Amino acid sequence: MKQIHQFFLGIRGVSVLFLAFVLLCLSPRTALVAQNTEAPDIEQLKSELRSDDNVKRREASLALRNAGPAAASATPDLIRALDDRDDQVWFNSITALANIGPGAKAAVPTLIDRLRGDGRYSAQRSYRAAYALGKIGKPALPSLFKALEENDSRIRSGAAKALGWQESDANDTKQIVGKLILILSDDSSNVQDAAAQSLGAIGKPAVAPLVELLKSSNPDAQWNASYALGEIGSDAASAGLALLWLIESDTEAKIRREAIHAVARIDFNPKLLGPVFVSKLGTDDDATYDTLVNALLRLRPAESVVVPQLMKRLDDKSADIRQRASYVLGRIGEPARAAVPRLIALTKQAGNDEAKAVHIQTLANINHYSVSPLLNEFGKRKPGEITEEDWVLNCLKRIGPSAVGKLRGGLRNKNSMIRLGSILALRQIGPLAKDAAPQLRRLITDRNPQIRGESLLALHAVGADPAALLPPLKEALSDPTPAVRRAAARTLAELGEDAEPAAKQLTAALNDDEDAEVQLHTARALGAIGEAAEPAIPRLLQMLSTADGELQIGIVQALGNIGAAAASAAPQITELAATKDKQLKAAALASLASFQGAAKDSLPTIRAALDNSDVAIRANALLAFTRIETSSDALLPVVAQGLTDEEGTVRHIAAQATARLRLKSNKTILALFKMLDDEGDRSEAMAALRELRVRDLDLLKKSLGSDSPSVRAYAASALGGMGSEARDALPELRRCLRDKYDFVRRRAKDAIRLIER
């Protein structure tokens, strides 16, 4: 299994088919052979390896693979098996040669040739040949050295890989390193990569020659030397100063990047690296900047090595440098907590939204360590200065659940602005802050009216039990302060149907409260309750004649949500549906739709809005028309036009109406089939077509060739429902039996059975 493990470590670009065949090699049947503890009969296995029976060849090659050096006498047979047509036999045979080791010397010429990777799975054939040559060891060295001079770059690359697997003595290793160093400047980048990787695998013996190579005038050699040193890791720590010299020298950007990457990986003195990396953050090269960020994140401990250096940059004259330093501190996260006060100051001073966003995200990444200083910022505000868009709230929301503990503490703070900010933050965090509900309930009676009101909204936002919320909400509708009443009405509106027990109090508030915002939220709450709000209809109608703006729209929507019980409002709302105010017009049309037949007199007004250029108006007009009009002759042309509208919202309403009203015509069916081509329309169109039970043979046959598997499955099911009438579709359905999707194949199979029955 060690060899298989190494095999997977080296996989690059392997195909799914190749992985499948390797897994077959490890199937239960072959595993039983692998568990056989008796000494294998090599002669018998050699004979079976030449069998015409591919099962015998597989089992023989597997047994030889597991025999290790004991299978040396089978080397000639294993060499022949490298041409076997069975992939498992090839894989087992080439792995067997690797496991035999030096005893497989006779295979070296063949394996050198196989470095070309000809045939299927070319990359893996080349890789396995290189691996086998590496494991054969010293006997393969002369041939590998010679292969490094071949014209074919595939052979040179494979030989370089093989040398990385050599387990050699000091003299041979020195010679191998020398050969690999030479080809780091090869014309082929693949050869260069293979040599660098092998030098990285060889490790410490390669460090000194690679350090010398850093001084080369050849850019490829410098880049590859840096890469190899990075691959060696901590054993290359002595290369640190040379790599730093390369970073500071006037070299190509890609070489500096690789040197930065390498020196961060070799465990060189992080206290020395931190200042160097931070000093380069002003680079104009984005790729170098990204490399520096990743290198800085490797340096530990961040608190003492990187953070102090980055904090100095937070005071840089350049806004760009300050922003970049902030970003890296954010990537470091909690260990950067010492920077929080300066980051807060920078956020307040930020001259543009991009810089502000970076600082906010950094504070959020530093997590709960940012919370207390952020809460203190609330304490510096004056009443009315904290809005829902406040940057401090934005930051606390991003911190999320980690901030809840300290926000709960903020609810008990003597400073009312800190209490208020904590409430608003918990409200924005939402259900993840549910643990704060007990503390929020205590603030419902706070002496500060804004805190009382915001506590009600926050309790609902964090997911407090609606039944427990209703008593204080009912009481708050009578609070002497408008802000509290507004919050109570708004919360009841957000509760929706759960606010039904408060219908009486809401109706009373609608009658008695003169605050326009309270009236608006109360109307919305009554609309959300629905039919239970019927006693409020007279007052809503009375208000409708005098209200304007947002309140008027809210009343129209409320009456529509109450539904048929509010149908007496139809004449007034019909007048509003003729207005030029787009928002009011759209709301009025939506409300008329809910009155259905009771709004029949509004049809001329609705019809006039069907061609409006505003999509919301057009969509609501179509919805209202299809809910009120009862004549199929009148409905069909309107719905057919809606199915071809340029806006998806309108098309979907038309498709739903087609299904609900069974509006089946050539135009509607053709339009629905056309909608199947649009991913956004597909589900609505299929739902309508299923409801209409379409039996158009030509259209369904065509749909079997759709790019969408769900459409192909639908078409197959519909054809099956036609029974023998769909016999002409059998050829297309049989092609679907080879579909890549199982559910399509199943539908096609069922359809064929139903048609041929």
Same domain for 335 and 475, yes or no, is no
Residue after which a domain boundary falls, among 498, 514, 529:
529
Q: Which residue has the tokens 């299978």?
A: 71
User: Does residue 94 sit within a domain?
Assistant: yes
pLDDT tens column, 162-183: 999 998 899 999 999 999 999 9
Q: Which residue has the tokens 């009841």?
A: 492
Interatomic CA distance for residues 665 and 753, integer angstroms: 29
Residue after which a domain boundary falls, among 332, 365, 398:
365
**Given this model, what pLDDT does residue 6 score?**
42
Closest alpha carbon to 207 in 186, 182, 179, 181: 181
Same domain for 443 and 493, yes or no, is no
Q: Which residue has the tokens 């040599």?
A: 195
Interatomic CA distance for residues 23 and 16, integer angstroms: 11
DSSP codes, 437-500: HHHHHHGGG-SSHHHHHHHHHHHHHHT--HHHHHHHHHHHTT-SSHHHHHHHHHHHHHHGGGGG
pLDDT tens column, 598-615: 999 999 999 999 999 999
Confidence check: pLDDT of 16 > 60? no
Q: Indicate the Cα dihedral angle 98, 104, 105, 107, nearest 10°.
A: -80
User: Does residue 436 sit within a domain?
Assistant: yes
167 φ/ψ sector (left φ>0, alpha ψ -120 to 50, else beta): beta
Residue type, 251: T
Average pLDDT over residues 297-308: 94
Same domain for 454 and 473, yes or no, is no
Confidence check: pLDDT of 56 > 80? yes
What percentage of the chain exceeds 70 in pLDDT?
95
**Is the alpha carbon torsion for 738, 739, 741, 747 positive or negative?**
negative
User: Does residue 560 sit within a domain?
Assistant: no
pLDDT tens column, 521-574: 999 999 999 889 999 999 999 999 899 999 999 999 999 999 999 999 999 999
Average pLDDT over residues 441-458: 95
Confidence check: pLDDT of 85 > 60? yes
Per-residue confidence band for 58, with pLDDT thresholds at 50, 70 and 90: very high
Same domain for 28 and 81, yes or no, is yes
What percentage of the chain exceeds 90 in pLDDT?
91
- Residues of the domain holding 409: 382-462
Same domain for 404 and 492, yes or no, is no
- Contact of 624 with 589, CB cutoff 8 Å: yes
CATH code at 476?
1.25.10.10
Closest alpha carbon to 17 in 94, 158, 112, 123: 123
Per-residue confidence band for 364, with pLDDT thresholds at 50, 70 and 90: very high
- Contact of 375 with 418, CB cutoff 8 Å: yes
> How many contiguous H segments (helices) and E segments (strands) does the chain have?
48, 0
**Given this model, what pLDDT does residue 610 score?**
96
| Mean pLDDT over the full length of the chain | 92
Average pLDDT over residues 425-450: 96
Same domain for 298 and 152, yes or no, is no
**Given this model, what pLDDT does residue 9 score?**
40
User: Does residue 524 sit within a domain?
Assistant: yes
CB neighbour class for 310 (10 Å; exposed up to 12, middle 13-18, buried from 19): buried
User: Does residue 175 sit within a domain?
Assistant: no
Confidence check: pLDDT of 36 > 80? no
Same domain for 160 and 123, yes or no, is yes
CB neighbour class for 625 (10 Å; exposed up to 12, middle 13-18, buried from 19): buried
DSSP 280: T
Q: What are phi and psi of 513, to 5 degrees?
A: -85, 130
Confidence check: pLDDT of 458 > 50? yes
Structural domains in the chain (count): 5
Average pLDDT over residues 177-201: 96
CATH code at 388?
1.25.10
Q: What are phi and psi of 289, to 5 degrees?
A: -60, -45
**Given this model, what pLDDT does residue 479 score?**
95
Confidence check: pLDDT of 193 > 90? yes
Same domain for 308 and 346, yes or no, is yes
Q: Which residue has the tokens 């000194």?
A: 208
User: Does residue 713 sit within a domain?
Assistant: yes
**Given this model, what pLDDT does residue 119 score?**
81
Interatomic CA distance for residues 53 and 51, integer angstroms: 5
pTM over 0.75: yes
Encoded tokens for 185: 């400047």
Average pLDDT over residues 367-381: 96
Same domain for 441 and 475, yes or no, is no
Interatomic CA distance for residues 742 and 736, integer angstroms: 10
Interatomic CA distance for residues 710 and 719, integer angstroms: 14
First to last CA, the chain: 54
User: Does residue 400 sit within a domain?
Assistant: yes
**Given this model, what pLDDT does residue 757 score?**
86
Confidence check: pLDDT of 4 > 50? no
**Given this model, what pLDDT does residue 118 score?**
86
Average pLDDT over residues 674-692: 95
User: Does residue 354 sit within a domain?
Assistant: yes
Same domain for 134 and 5, yes or no, is yes
**Given this model, what pLDDT does residue 28 score?**
38
Encoded tokens for 176: 């191998």
DSSP 728: G
Residue after which a domain boundary falls, among 404, 434, 462:
462
Same domain for 454 and 503, yes or no, is no
Per-residue confidence band for 37, with pLDDT thresholds at 50, 70 and 90: low
- Alpha-helical regions (H) of 237-285: 240-248, 253-265, 270-279
Encoded tokens for 721: 């429902």
pLDDT tens column, 89-138: 999 999 999 999 999 999 999 999 999 998 888 999 999 999 999 999 99
Residues 6+ apart with CB under 8 A from 493: 499, 521, 522, 524, 525, 528
Per-residue confidence band for 374, with pLDDT thresholds at 50, 70 and 90: very high
Closest alpha carbon to 502 in 530, 470, 480: 470
**Given this model, what pLDDT does residue 21 score?**
47
Interatomic CA distance for residues 615 and 404, integer angstroms: 42
Same domain for 295 and 433, yes or no, is no
**Given this model, what pLDDT does residue 35 score?**
47
